């Protein structure tokens, strides 16, 4: 009888883990789908804006350029602070608006770099991002300490980039680009593991899980976009 009870208990535990893993897998697929949709929106907006002289003149020929450049950053802070009070549908709408704003901001890259090099670097970035995200998802190692180190490095990178706006040093810019690639590669793995852990916090709440997925998609989106920009800075071919 005891063997039967133990077997039944083991079966129930295995079934519970299987259900849990299925739920986690569906959650991660949702995260990547949201991220892919956001990238698609950004790409479409960037392509449209870069091919419209009137739009480019409006954005980068007036003080509106500062709004376009700074709005995404302010949007991230606002979105993070308001996430708990938003509905899942509103959170998704905000993500689409944010990705459109980022598309406007990124449109200038299509005027600076050749289309072929942009496409090449995009696929290189996607391959690196995919590999590191997979590592972050599958590794049993706690990446918290690495994430903290990379976050400190990111702060240093931002400060050094601001200083270089005045120094205009090409050597420093190249070094910062390489450092940026390393930082965002590390953050991709860390954020993926953190997103995986966020699923556990939802505790079966579908609404909360969707909002967590949107937030996770936003984090990975930013990791990918920044990795792409950093790689483009030293692998991209500039137009004549």
Each residue of 99-124: pLDDT tens digit?
A: 998 999 899 899 899 999 999 999 99
pLDDT band at 240 (very low <50, low <70, confident <90, very high): confident
Q: List CB contacts of 125: < 8 A, sequence separation 6 or more.
A: 224, 227, 228, 231
Contact 34, 210 (CB under 8 A): no
Q: Each residue of 52-69: pLDDT tens digit?
A: 998 888 887 777 777 777
- Going by the DSSP 8-state scheme, the letter that residue 113 receives in this structure is B
Residue 8 has pLDDT above 90, yes or no: no
Please count the residues of the chain. Answer: 240
Which residue, chain included where needed, has tokens 């938003």?
86
- Report pLDDT for 4: 41
Contact 138, 196 (CB under 8 A): no
SS3 42: helix
Selection from 99, 82, 103 nearest residue 211 by Cα: 82
pLDDT band at 178 (very low <50, low <70, confident <90, very high): very high
Q: Each residue of 9-52: pLDDT tens digit?
A: 443 444 445 455 788 899 999 999 999 999 999 999 999 999 99
- Going by the DSSP 8-state scheme, the letter that residue 85 receives in this structure is G
Contact 31, 213 (CB under 8 A): yes
Cα–Cα dist 158/126, whole Å: 23
Which residue, chain included where needed, has tokens 């083991």?
10
pTM of the model: 0.88
């Amino acid at each position: 009888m005891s063997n039967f009870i133990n077997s039944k208990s083991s079966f129930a535990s295995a079934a519970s883990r299987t259900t849990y893993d299925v739920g986690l897998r569906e959650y991660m697929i949702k995260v990547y789908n949201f991220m892919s949709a956001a990238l698609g929106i950004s790409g479409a907006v960037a392509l449209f804006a870069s091919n419209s002289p009137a739009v480019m003149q409006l954005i980068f020929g007036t003080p509106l350029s500062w709004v376009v450049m700074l709005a995404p950053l302010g949007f991230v802070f606002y979105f993070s602070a308001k996430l708990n009070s938003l509905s899942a549908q509103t959170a998704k709408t905000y993500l689409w608006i944010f990705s459109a704003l980022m598309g406007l901001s990124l449109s200038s890259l299509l005027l600076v770099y050749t289309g072929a090099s942009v496409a090449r670097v995009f696929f290189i970035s996607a391959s690196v991002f995919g590999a590191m995200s997979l590592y972050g998802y599958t590794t049993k190692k706690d990446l918290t300490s690495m994430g903290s180190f990379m976050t400190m490095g990111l702060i240093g990178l931002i400060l050094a980039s601001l200083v270089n706006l005045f120094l205009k040093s090409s050597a420093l810019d190249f070094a910062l680009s390489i450092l940026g690639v390393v930082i965002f590669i590390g953050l991709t793995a860390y954020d993926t593991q953190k997103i995986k852990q966020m699923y556990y916090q939802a505790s079966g709440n579908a609404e909360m899980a969707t909002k967590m997925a949107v937030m996770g998609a936003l984090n990975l989106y930013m990791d990918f976009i920044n990795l792409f920009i950093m790689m483009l800075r030293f692998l991209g071919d500039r137009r004549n």
